[in-house]
């Protein structure tokens, strides 16, 4: 349902990147509505490179290297509430 969540997420990630923060953008591997898995895409087709995962546990070893962790379509990922890096 469109409400601008992904657009806001992309905007925030870009602001952190502009501030020289290391950002890890994760998206649900099964979300290929606008592009192949590996990109977060807004309704206006703005794209940002992301790492596709089915669960957040797949990224657990990677998160420690980043300043900012952003998750798109987290409602599809089991364990999102209990996942704390």
Could you list the active site residues?
A: 73
Query: How many whole angstroms separate alpha carbon 14 and alpha carbon 51?
Result: 16
Ramachandran region of residue 29, left (φ > 0), alpha (ψ -120 to 50) or beta?
Answer: alpha
Residue 30 near residue 37, CB atoms below 8 Å: yes
């Amino acid at each position: 349902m469109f409400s601008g969540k992904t657009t806001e997420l992309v905007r925030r990630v870009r602001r952190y990147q502009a501030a020289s923060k290391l950002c890890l953008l994760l998206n649900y591997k099964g979300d290929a509505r606008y592009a192949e898995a590996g990109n977060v895409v807004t309704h206006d087709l703005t794209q940002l490179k992301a790492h596709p995962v089915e669960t957040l546990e797949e990224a657990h070893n990677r998160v420690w290297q980043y300043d900012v962790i952003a998750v798109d379509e987290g409602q599809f990922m089991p364990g999102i509430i209990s996942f704390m890096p």
